[in-house]
Amino acid sequence: MSLSILDRPNSYIGRTVPRPNAKKLVQGRGTYVDDIKLPRMVHVAFVRSPYAHARILAIRSDAAQAAPGVVRIVTGAEMAAVCTPWVGVLGHMKGLKSAPQYALAVDRACWQGEAVVAVVAHSRAEAEDAAQLVEIDWEELFVVADMETALDPETPVIHPELGDNLAFRRELDVGDVEKGFAAADAIVEETYITGRHTGVCLEARSILADYQPADEQLVVYHSTQAPHMMQTIFAKHLDLPETNVRVICKDVGGAFGIKVHTYPDEMATVALAKMLRRPVKFIADRMESFVTDIHARDHRVKARMAVSKEGRILAIEADDRTGIGPYSVYPRTSAIEANQVVNLIGGPYTNQNYRCTANVVFQNKNVMCQYRAVGHPIACAVTEGLVDKAARAIGMDPAEFRRRNLIADDAYPYKAPTGMVYEGLSHHKSLDKLLELMQYDRLRAEQAALREKGIHRGIGLAAFIEVTNPSAMFYGVGGARISAQDGCTIRLDPTGVITVSIGVTEQGQGTEAIMAQIAASSVGVPMDKVRLITGDTEVTPYGGGTWASRGAGIGGEATLQAGRALRENILSVAGTMLQAAPQTLDIRAGIIVDADTGAERMKLEELGRVAYFRPDTLPRDCQPELMVTRHYVQKDYAFVFTNGLQASYLEVDTETGFVTLLDHWVVEDCGTIINPQLVDEQIRGGVVQGLGGALFEECLYSADGQMLNANMADYLVPMASEMPDIAIAHVVTPTQTSELGAKGVGEAGTAGAPAAVMNAINDALSPFGASVAAQPFTPERVLRALGKIR
């Protein structure tokens, strides 16, 4: 029996190793889609709807057609003949409905920014010039902008064939909520609002499609998180055999969930390549990114909590309303965020009396779908906001209140009222660690002393759980061809190098680095003898790609098992060559050694030389198998949850309403840590995205459905000077669902940061009896809360 990978000599697991693939990026020598040029390549620009809802009466493109460099102009009707529409529903989201969505609008546009006409030209500049010459006669239609009134009887229905504007409703009622409220010593309630915001990947959505008509081969260079999923979708809607479609994803300039969906303009680009029989490139510009990249988080949650004077949560009730735009996004659907809100409210706590309703409605705004930490920051803000309010109501310290309600560390597996089972969490250890890390008592004393001087600082805590390592229960059971399993192939090359190809993908989080660490450790070679291949449907094992914090936990386990299998195969050949029992041998640092003494027996390149070039010297029954594939899917739980807490320390200027972030702390438990630096940087980046939503980011819409700040000057994202350093510590509870024991970590930072900031602001404002509950917490909203402006 060989040692666990975690205990093997020279293991890279748990070590900070710089990312091998980052070297090219610091030289500007990555390959993003827009860096690729192909012979005969043309560019597409889109004429987009200026209205939130309008009928297309006529399209005149003669002048555009005659403009310099124009190759082809395509309308919705022509496009529909090549690219079939899609409907974003899932079988297990009962009642979820949506209407067919087309690559280019046919007859009417349903949101401002929807692509209507495609203009293909020799350069993007020429395509944009010509697009301005396309004239469309519009008939403006009613606009459903406000999600709160979308279901009212007097509100018109966007898709009459669906009967109403309700996309999805979920109702959950567990335990005895009425009894909980009846027994309460205090009841707190609030309406929490999270602003509609978006990912703002610095590399906008990018796609280059190359169609070879002779053999009907489609190659798509795509900035995506899920190459195999997109392969299926391109094939299905362009009527091509799936095996004729290859999706290549080289470097991706940020994704965060934005690049895991079906976008009409991208489908149109691929269809144009098929129609024109030549490569077509589409790179979204920043303005069109803002009105077409999926938005997220536009939720209003009315919630209340019952507590006893001893500080026990007795019941939680919540009502979530969210508007998702005119279509449920394909293929993941736009019901997932609300579903997650229902699943996650109250998540860290022992309360079992829980009622929640979520209504997901259609409206004439850009679509919403899954963005980093889907639902988590919303549910966390609701839960943690109520927890702080409840603690204040009964006069208890918020840390102590949490201690009395967090699920005990020895209570696992634990079944939440939602039916979700938590495998193993560490709330109490994490809370202890956090309070120590932030020096909670000292900070409280400092806060009190400064308050005497009229300086208003606040301390905010937020406990969270995170959905990671999803099983097929997330999408597969609903009929979507989205893979929860992933595969890894490892090949020993004659030089002693191992080549690892894997279905999970890299967007900068360090996937390739950690897979190299796992493969190196599992096989027994140094890091510089590992080469990684990701992002190519033609050469990697079939896999789901990157979403729901699955890369390390799912892809990592597949890599570990593939590495183990390859090592066994290598040792079998080595045993034959060395006339030794394979179990007496091991591979360490790229050398086959005697397992007991560590003495060198043979270098891997020597084994490679013999196996590949002199197999004649091996016995007849010795067939080296030096390339192996292993797959892994997590089947034990719907998700492997992680947990953690965050804390924010900030100062509120009560004259200007400005919030200055001073410190931020995170304690997180993602199980086995493969690369400590990469884990911490995932958390930091995630926290800052959460802070963006908390303080700055919001897609502002007018009452007639026009996005008002669709540019980077008006849509604010966090900048270096506004962000604090972020201190991080860990508790390690490995998952027992895999040998590796790793859970996900990519979304933890985003999940808890807004709640921590909200609680800190409200802590600072508490002497004034003021509080905020609508994100982003802008100076204006803070001043309104203080009654300084109306």
Partner 1 sequence: MTESLPLNLPIDLTVNGERISATVPARQHLIDFLRETLSLTGSHIGCEHGVCGACSIRVNGAVVRGCLTLAVQCDGASVDTIEGLSDSGAIADLQSAFHERNALQCGFCTPGMLATGYDIVRRLPDADEARIRRELSGNICRCTGYHAIVDAIETVAAKRGAGA
Q: Does 388 bind partner 1 (CB under 8 A)?
A: no
* Span of 414-422, 484-492, 586-594, 705-713 interacting with partner 1 by CB under 8 A: 705-713
Q: How near is the Cβ of 290 to partner 1 at its closest, in Å?
A: 10
Q: How near is the Cβ of 374 to partner 1 at its closest, in Å?
A: 17
Q: Does 677 bind partner 1 (CB under 8 A)?
A: yes
Q: Does 63 bind partner 1 (CB under 8 A)?
A: no
Contacts of 242 (CB under 8 A, 6+ apart): 231, 232, 235, 236
For the range 93-96, what are the long-range contacts, defined as Cβ-Cβ under 8 Å and sequence gap of 24 or more? 93/168, 93/333, 93/335, 93/336, 93/339, 93/478, 95/168, 95/169, 96/167, 96/168, 96/328, 96/333, 96/335
SS3 450: helix
Q: How near is the Cβ of 254 to partner 1 at its closest, in Å?
A: 4
Q: Does 685 bind partner 1 (CB under 8 A)?
A: yes
Q: How near is the Cβ of 395 to partner 1 at its closest, in Å?
A: 36
H or E element in which residue 221 lies: strand 217-222
* Span of 19-27, 227-235, 320-328, 426-434 interacting with partner 1 by CB under 8 A: 19-27
* Span of 314-322, 431-439, 549-557, 680-688 interacting with partner 1 by CB under 8 A: 680-688
Nearer to partner 1 by Cβ, of 250 and 451: the residue is 250
Total site size for partner 1, rule CB under 8 A: 57
Nearer to partner 1 by Cβ, of 99 and 120: the residue is 120
Cis peptide before 624 (omega within 30 of 0): no
Q: Map the footprint of partner 1 across residues 506-525, applying CB under 8 A.
A: 507-510
Look at residues 507, 377, 394 and name the one whose alpha carbon lies nearest to residue 776. 377
DSSP state of 710: -
Compute how many other C-beta atoms are within 10 angstroms of the C-beta atom of residue 97.
19
Q: Does 726 bind partner 1 (CB under 8 A)?
A: yes
CA distance 334 to 166: 12
Q: How near is the Cβ of 434 to partner 1 at its closest, in Å?
A: 18
Q: How near is the Cβ of 470 to partner 1 at its closest, in Å?
A: 22
H or E element in which residue 314 lies: strand 313-323
Q: Which of 34, 317, 486, 512 binds partner 1 (CB under 8 A)?
A: 34
Q: Does 687 bind partner 1 (CB under 8 A)?
A: yes
Q: Does 14 bind partner 1 (CB under 8 A)?
A: no
The binding track of 110-149 with respect to partner 1, each residue x by CB under 8 A or -, is -------------x-x------------------------
Q: How near is the Cβ of 123 to partner 1 at its closest, in Å?
A: 8
Q: Map the footprint of partner 1 across residues 183-212, applying CB under 8 A.
A: 199-204
Q: Does 711 bind partner 1 (CB under 8 A)?
A: yes
Sort 94 into a burial class: Cβ within 10 Å, 0-12 / 13-18 / 19+: exposed
Query: How far is Cα of residue 191 from the mean position of the Cα atoms in its chain?
Result: 26
Three-class SS of 620-668: CCCCCCCEEEEEECCCCCCCEEEEEEEEEEEEECCCCCCEEEEEEEEEE
Q: Does 535 bind partner 1 (CB under 8 A)?
A: no
SS3 78: helix
Q: Does 98 bind partner 1 (CB under 8 A)?
A: no
Q: Map the footprint of partner 1 across residues 246-275, applying CB under 8 A.
A: 251-256
Residue with tokens 């308050």: 451
Look at residues 71, 33, 102 and name the one whose alpha carbon lies nearest to residue 281. 33
Q: Does 293 bind partner 1 (CB under 8 A)?
A: no
Over the Cα atoms of the chain, what is R_g?
A: 28
* Span of 393-401, 402-410, 451-459, 501-509 interacting with partner 1 by CB under 8 A: 501-509
Look at residues 641, 666, 630 and name the one whose alpha carbon lies nearest to residue 735. 641
Contact of 303 with 64, CB cutoff 8 Å: no
Q: Does 627 bind partner 1 (CB under 8 A)?
A: no
Nearer to partner 1 by Cβ, of 12 and 256: the residue is 256
Q: Does 720 bind partner 1 (CB under 8 A)?
A: yes
Nearer to partner 1 by Cβ, of 32 and 768: the residue is 32
Q: Does 39 bind partner 1 (CB under 8 A)?
A: no
Q: Does 658 bind partner 1 (CB under 8 A)?
A: no
Token pair recorded at residue 100: 């067919």
Q: How near is the Cβ of 202 to partner 1 at its closest, in Å?
A: 4
Token pair recorded at residue 764: 């600072």
SS3 125: helix
Q: What is the DSSP string of 350-407?
A: ----EEEEEEEE--SS--B---SSTTHHHHHHHHHHHHHHHHHHTT--HHHHHHHHBP
Query: How far is Cα of residue 117 from the mean position of the Cα atoms in its chain?
Result: 31
Angle, helices 376-393/336-344, rounded to nearest 10 degrees:
30
H or E element in which residue 512 lies: helix 511-523
Contact of 243 with 209, CB cutoff 8 Å: no
Nearer to partner 1 by Cβ, of 139 and 714: the residue is 714
DSSP state of 718: -
Q: Does 545 bind partner 1 (CB under 8 A)?
A: no
Nearer to partner 1 by Cβ, of 245 and 756: the residue is 756
Nearer to partner 1 by Cβ, of 320 and 680: the residue is 680
Nearer to partner 1 by Cβ, of 286 and 302: the residue is 286
* Span of 73-81, 390-398, 505-513, 617-625 interacting with partner 1 by CB under 8 A: 505-513
Nearer to partner 1 by Cβ, of 470 and 685: the residue is 685
Q: Does 733 bind partner 1 (CB under 8 A)?
A: no
Q: How near is the Cβ of 259 to partner 1 at its closest, in Å?
A: 11
**Which residues of the shown chain bind partner 1 in the complex (CB under 8 A)?**
18-19, 22-23, 25-30, 32, 34-35, 37, 68, 123, 125, 199-204, 251-256, 283, 285-286, 507-510, 677-678, 681, 684-689, 711-713, 717-721, 723, 725-726, 749
